[in-house]
Chains A and B, each alone.
Chain A
Amino acid sequence: AQKVTQAQTEISVVEKEDVTLDCVYETRDTTYYLFWYKQPPSGELVFLIRRNSFDEQNEISGRYSWNFQKSTSSFNFTITASQVVDSAVYFCALSEASNDMRFGAGTRLTVKP
């Protein structure tokens, strides 16, 4: 069975601090996909990144970076020099053979000015 754990329920940082959001997943499949989404107060889920199980390369996109480690079943997300606009709930998700996603409980990030 697939499972996604985001152990950090809430994180609060001051602007310009770096912050890492943790995501640990469980799956029996060898082919799977991992995602990160951002949910601002408006409600829609904003797609941030998709990574397949065969691609362990880390990725950097501006202030965002992702660290995928199959050995520890983790797909962590780091925001460098956080900004107030980064305040949102962030979800990690996993999908296997079917197209549905299993989401973690989410991490609420608050960036204070």
Chain B
Amino acid sequence: DVKVTQSSRYLVKRTGEKVFLECVQDMDHENMFWYRQDPGLGLRLIYFSYDVKMKEKGDIPEGYSVSREKKERFSLILESTSTNQTSMYLCASSRQGAIWAGELFFGEGSRLTVL
């Protein structure tokens, strides 16, 4: 079975602090994604990566950056958190074929609260 592991399930931070969310997948997938999920807004794509060191902006990249130094690992960085970044963050991965072809697998999510 595909396993996507997010390092932190729950985090509480103060405004202005830096947050580093890590995601690791064990199925050698080429594509990795970061979403956030908010009540009433659904899932929104922040960034995705289709290869090591490659990244593409999604719908809401402002205030976020990402890093993909190894194929299995995709990190989401919030350099200076704000209260409007309180959310559930979900990492996902899929196999290449075409970037749009693969079945998407999600991690358990990281619930971030910014005070």
Pairing of A with B: no
* A residues lining the B interface (CB < 8 Å): none
